[in-house]
Amino acid sequence: MSGFAAGFEGQAGTFNGINSVLRLPIDISPAVMPAVTMGAWVSTSNPNIRTAILSADDNNPGNYDRHIGIDNRDLNGNGAPGYSYSAFGGGGAGSHVLPSGITISPAFTFVAGRYDGTNFTLFVGGNSYTAVDTTGGDAVENPQLWIGKNPFYDSFFNGSIDNAFIFDQALTNTQIASIQAGGKAAILAVPEPASGGLIAAGLALTGLRRRRK
């Protein structure tokens, strides 16, 4: 991360598109987190590159990993829909890259991904897109969560990322809509799962809050 600027709420972390990235000690491998929901509010200065917003990758070119970002490929490689907010859903038929197809603008946009072991769903603004979640076939990913860059591929993110969040559970559509509408306060209002598992929320990228029951 290269600095701070006006964000969706308060200040956002800025990324220069050259060498800035934020690495958090959170392992979202399917073996550690069978289900995960992650997202942020994003404003990009370069909408025409493949880049990551939140990413975990083990550098296995045969797999597509838990990752939300910007991409210009479609679900099964059947044409280029143009650059849009996208997500990866694992390797194998019926998965790979899931694009939103929504034209990217400089305005802050809510982008989130949910992996529940059966399906993965990409949320962009008020829209959602679902495909098969095959990330469980690659149980071990990078033990760090990268913000602003895939650990091994693609370009550095150029722009601002605000209110990044991650939960070790598959949030419901209602909970995700509440976060989109309510921002930071809604992130913190999500109840912990009955198991008392980890819930983490990065607030304005100034740090990472963890809480256990």
What are the structural domain ranges in the chain? Answer: 3-208
pLDDT tops 70 at residue 212? no
Tell me the CATH number of domain 3-208, given options 2.160.10.10, 2.60.120.10, 2.60.120.200, 3.60.15.10.
2.60.120.200
pTM to 2 decimal places: 0.88
Average the pLDDT over each of 151-155, 158-162, 166-170, 176-180 and give the range with the smallest value: 151-155
Write down the residue that tokens 């109840």 correspond to. Answer: 191
Residue 178: Cβ-neighbour burial (10 angstroms; 0-12, 13-18, 19+): middle
Average pLDDT over residues 23-35: 89
Distance separating alpha carbons of residues 82 and 71, to the nearest angstrom: 8
Q: Apex CA 176: angle with CA 173 and CA 182, to 5°?
A: 135
DSSP assignment string, 118-133 = SEEEEEETTEEEEEE-
- Answer whether 117's CB lies under 8 Å from 136's CB: yes
Give residue 79's pLDDT band: very low, low, confident or very high (50, 70, 90): low
76 pLDDT more than 80? no
What confidence score (pLDDT) does residue 143 get?
A: 84
Give the tens place of pLDDT for each residue, 88-131. Answer: 877 655 557 888 888 898 999 999 999 998 999 999 998 999 88
Write the pLDDT tens digit of every residue in 127-162: 999 888 888 777 777 788 999 998 888 889 999 999
Report d(CA 41, CA 112) in Å as an integer: 9
